[in-house]
Amino acid sequence: MSEWTFPKGDLMKGKKGLVMGVANDRSIAWGIAQQLAAQGAEIAFTYQGEALERRVRPLVESIGMSKMIPADVSNDADMDSAFERLASEFGSIDFLVHAIAFAGKEELQGSFVGNTTREGFRRAMDISVFSFVDAARRASALMTDGGAMVTLTYLGAERVVPSYNVMGVAKAGLEAATRYAARDLGPRGIRVNAISAGPMRTLAMAGIRGGKQLMSTGRDWSLLKEDTSMEGVAGCALYLLSPLGRSITGEVVHVDAGFHVVGVPDMQEP
Ligand SMILES: NC(=O)c1ccc[n+]([C@@H]2O[C@H](COP(=O)([O-])OP(=O)(O)OC[C@H]3O[C@@H](n4cnc5c(N)ncnc54)[C@H](O)[C@@H]3O)[C@@H](O)[C@H]2O)c1
């Protein structure tokens, strides 16, 4: 079990919402869920399918929650029934966390131009970008009294990162989708933001060729000289989803120990 600790409080007391994307106890969605629960939120979870239930259920129960709904985001019928269940169990909701992405292993290595197939491109966009647009539409229908949404992105959307390839293009789409959704939903008091997290040791990271090196470079070149922490990412999600984040929307917040501002890494003294 993970060793993170999250500050307790009442910032999310009385707030209900959905967290999508817990696969195991290293998932970013799981860190965020624990932080939101520690601040009083009531949370329902969607997970990728029955195969993951054995791993996800004990986590959900460990924070006193029980609402778990299987949903493959590439399947409309799954999404229909997931949001119907959410509506019947929660009525209205206040927040959405989307922490879902996928690209084939073969696409996450080597040449972007050489390895990106039409099907691989379509799948990466569908699961990593459209799923957020789709979830935002469905979740916003349940946000009858305003609300807030957060998705997870990575620097590969803005800069070239080896092996990230089609996922970088997908994340660029996701960041643009964040801004367009923020525009649509703003007049209803619904804020939409993205967190650009530095490299973290999760299942998704394990799928990227050279992931270990991305982690060590992310730490060694960062301004803080440390790994991106789950506490930092979850704390940012809490800030964006709670009243603390009032007036912030359409934003991409970097939580990466300052890596994204580095132009040239530290040099040996001449
Ligand atoms: N780990 C990192 O270094 C890092 C950095 C920045 C951003 N992110 C992003 O954070 C998010 C969460 O990833 P993570 O690192 O926690 O890894 P993770 O593997 O724990 O989470 C990815 C989740 O996506 C889900 N998923 C994939 N395809 C799906 C589908 N068809 N239907 C439903 N769910 C599906 C998986 O079940 C899993 O729960 C992703 O968007 C990822 O790109 C990760």
CA of 189 to the centre of ligand 1 (A): 27
Residue 97 is assigned to a structural domain of this protein: yes
Task: Provide the H-helix boundaries in the chain.
Answer: 28-38, 50-62, 76-90, 112-115, 118-125, 131-142, 165-185, 203-206, 211-220, 230-241
Catalytic (active site) residue 164: yes
Nearest to 250 by CA among 188, 189, 176: 176
pLDDT band at 206 (very low <50, low <70, confident <90, very high): confident
Q: Which residues line ligand 1 (CB under 6 A)?
A: 21-23, 27-29, 48, 72-74, 99-102, 127, 152-154, 197, 199-200, 202-205
Domain extent at residue 230: 16-258
Residue 126 is assigned to a structural domain of this protein: yes
Mean pLDDT computed over 86-114: 97
| pTM of the shown model | 0.98
CA of 270 to the centre of ligand 1 (A): 42
- Tell me the sheet residues that pair with 47: 70
111-127, pLDDT tens digit by residue?
999 999 999 999 999 99
Catalytic-labelled residue, pool 47, 154, 180, 239: 154
Share of the chain above pLDDT 90, in %: 93
Residue nearest to atom 24 of ligand 1 (CA): 100
C-beta contacts of 212-218 below 8 A and 24+ residues apart: 214/161, 214/162, 214/163, 218/256, 218/257, 218/259
Residue 181: which CATH number? 3.40.50.720
- DSSP label at residue 12: T
* Other beta carbons within 10 Å of 57: 14
Question: Domain tally for the chain?
Answer: 1
Catalytic-labelled residue, pool 47, 164, 180, 239: 164
Residue 39 is assigned to a structural domain of this protein: yes
Helix count (H) and strand count (E) of the chain?
A: 10, 7
Q: How many whole angstroms separate alpha carbon 46 and alpha carbon 102?
A: 16
Is the pLDDT reported for residue 267 higher than 90? no
Residue 265 is assigned to a structural domain of this protein: no
